[in-house]
């Protein structure tokens, strides 16, 4: 009978399956840092002129006051825009988005939502996104584009008046910006919870495998 013992040499010779390539991991963490900086500084800016009848706690804001919040927000804005644009271009050029995020069907999403709610959603193969993941990741890309465009409309409403008109008017751009921020915050909470529930997905985003 042939031996079934796996030697150290055979283990080392087995090719390591890369789940998250280096460019994805680097851009992911840069985007995460930029989004957190923008959210915290954005809360500081919001508190100077609230849209609703509440303000964010001072200890969860960045910048100390309006001008400081604006400085942090603009610095993080360029980081997010440059890195985000590079991520989009690379994702489309390499075909990663088409492979990972498509197709998205209503039946597939409903099936995976039911499976997730009954703790029957599998995570054996991290290279394949389920329909819920595809919907969330595709949706957050759209939200990211909207929050950048509405932010630019608020930043330069005269020079970029065509962006303001895209949203209808300046106040509407502010509301769009706020609700996009809320959507990103909700996404981050869900994203972190899923990473904690499936620790190997976090490991893959750190070391790639």
Span 165-196, pLDDT tens digits: 999 999 999 999 999 999 999 999 988 887 88
Domain membership of residue 32 (yes or no) is: yes
- The confidence score (pLDDT) of residue 170 equals 94
Tally of domains within the chain: 2
Domain membership of residue 4 (yes or no) is: no
What's the predicted TM-score (pTM) here? 0.83
- Mean pLDDT value of segment 75-97: 92
Same-domain status, 74 and 108: no
CA–CA separation, 63 vs 70, rounded Å? 8
Same-domain status, 109 and 87: no
Domain that holds residue 195: 95-209
Same-domain status, 134 and 60: no
pLDDT classification of 11: cutoffs 50, 70, 90 = very low
98-127 pLDDT per residue, tens: 988 888 899 998 998 888 778 777 666 777
Domain membership of residue 1 (yes or no) is: no
- The confidence score (pLDDT) of residue 7 equals 55
- The confidence score (pLDDT) of residue 195 equals 80
Same-domain status, 82 and 140: no
For the chain, give the mean pLDDT: 87
Domain membership of residue 5 (yes or no) is: no
Position with higher pLDDT, 6 vs 135: 135
Same-domain status, 89 and 103: no
Same-domain status, 129 and 158: yes
Same-domain status, 77 and 105: no
16-44 pLDDT per residue, tens: 677 788 888 999 999 999 999 999 999 99
Same-domain status, 26 and 126: no
Same-domain status, 183 and 110: yes
The two tokens of residue 161 are: 């008046």
Same-domain status, 154 and 178: yes
Task: Please say whether the beta carbons of 48 and 197 come within 8 A.
Answer: no
Same-domain status, 104 and 206: yes
Same-domain status, 84 and 120: no
pLDDT at 205 over 60: yes
Q: How many other CB atoms sit within 10 Å of the CB of residue 54?
A: 9
Residue that is last in its domain, among 94, 125, 159: 94
Position with higher pLDDT, 85 vs 18: 85
Question: DSSP H helical segments within the chain, as ranges?
Answer: 8-13, 22-48, 66-93, 96-101, 106-117, 131-155, 161-167, 170-197, 199-207
Domain membership of residue 160 (yes or no) is: yes
Residue that is last in its domain, among 76, 94, 112: 94
Residue that is last in its domain, among 94, 116, 139: 94
- The confidence score (pLDDT) of residue 9 equals 54
């Amino acid at each position: 009978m042939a031996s079934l013992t796996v030697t150290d040499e055979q283990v080392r010779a087995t090719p390591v399956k890369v789940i998250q390539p280096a460019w994805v991991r680097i851009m992911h963490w840069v985007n995460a840092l930029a989004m957190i900086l923008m959210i915290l500084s954005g809360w500081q800016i919001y508190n100077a002129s609230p849209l609703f009848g509440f303000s964010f706690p001072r200890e969860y804001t960045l910048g100390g006051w309006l001008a400081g919040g604006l400085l942090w927000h603009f610095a993080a804005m360029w980081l997010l825009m440059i890195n985000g644009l590079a991520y989009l271009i690379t994702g489309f050029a390499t075909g990663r988005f088409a492979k990972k995020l498509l197709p998205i069907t209503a039946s597939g999403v409903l099936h995976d939502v039911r499976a997730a709610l009954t703790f029957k959603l599998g995570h054996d193969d991290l290279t394949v996104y389920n329909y819920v993941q595809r919907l969330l990741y595709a949706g957050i890309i759209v939200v990211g584009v909207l929050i950048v465009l509405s932010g630019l409309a608020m930043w330069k409403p005269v020079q970029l008046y065509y962006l303001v008109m895209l949203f209808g008017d300046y106040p509407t751009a502010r509301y769009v910006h706020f609700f996009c921020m809320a959507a990103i915050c909700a996404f981050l909470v869900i994203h972190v919870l899923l990473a904690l529930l499936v620790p190997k997905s976090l490991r893959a985003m750190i070391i790639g495998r």
